[in-house]
Amino acid sequence: MRIGFIGLGNMGAPMAANLVKAGHAVTGYDVAAAAPEGVTRADSAAGAAKGAEVVITMLPNGAILKQVAAEVIPAMEPGAVLLDCSTVDVASAREVAAMAAGAGLGSLDAPVSGGVGGAAAGTLTFMVGGTPEAFATAKPLFDAMGRKAVHCGPAGNGQAAKICNNMILGVTMIATCEAFALADKLGLDRQAMFDVVSTSSGQSWSMNTYCPAPGVGPTSPADNGYRPGFAAELMLKDLRLSQAAAEGADADTPMGALAAALYARFVEEEDGRGRDFSAMLPRFEGRGRTSS
């Protein structure tokens, strides 16, 4: 397929490279990053979109997504599909879908799970909102960039699935880090803690797959000085999106709100920026019950 790819950063570049490896012709554009090997660089977002059957975007936020959509939609051919893989607010995703539909285009919001490692390995999971027809068109591309794509319903539902998933992740990571810090103070060996919890009712992805304790469980960013696989500031972004969505939907999410507040403090007032989101563990290690 002829693919336009806009946003060739840490996530977009390996995704575009995997499309090239799968035999697709990819023309890419980024305001700063270089195009990966095999990707033809365009001089504008509209230039990357011209003649493409599918235009993929991987962008920082909803405001930038809407700006790029306004530029590329007029350059796209009727019947082409605009496939956004960014993580943005639900309202922006639905606004862009309406813009695309008004121009005779298909559209999908398809945020990803799996981080930079999953993008490089081609093992991402895509949570997809949009029409079944657009999903069928993009399915070969999902297969090239990831190992699973779930059609979650109409426009915006991909973003809804992503923020609900990451709200759970943020809450469970905090609980896992709190539990390890408590175990330390109670004299419980971390390996023993892992062996019990990972096979008991407290198990979670945060414990079993992405354990925040160095030297315990499968290798994770904790074993690499908490260099980010998923940065704390990105978790904060997603938690804030979840709370904006909850406010708009009149949903009561007290644990999600508390997780957002804790990550905000960690990133904006402490040393969390540039560290993995699991670095909450050393944060809790150094704090007592009456810490400010």
> Is residue 162 among the annotated active site residues?
yes
3-state secondary structure the chain: CEEEEECCCCCHHHHHHHHHHCCCEEEEECCCCCCCCCCEECCCHHHHHCCCCEEEECCCCHHHHHHHHHHHHHHCCCCCEEEECCCCCHHHHHHHHHHHHHCCCEEEECCEECHHHHHHHCCEEEEEEECHHHHHHHHHHHHHHEEEEEEEECCCHHHHHHHHHHHHHHHHHHHHHHHHHHHHHHCCCHHHHHHHHCCCCCCCHHHHCCCCCCCCCCCCHHHHCCCCCCEHHHHHHHHHHHHHHHHHHCCCCHHHHHHHHHHHHHHHCCCCCCCEHHHHHHHHHCCCCCCC
Dist. CA 260–CA 104, nearest whole Å = 38
Dist. CA 5–CA 159, nearest whole Å = 19
Q: Cα separations (Å) of 27 from 31, 41, 70, 118?
A: 14, 6, 19, 22
Look-up of token digits 């027809």:
133
Selected catalytic residue, list 21, 162, 185, 237: 162
* Residues with a known catalytic role: 162
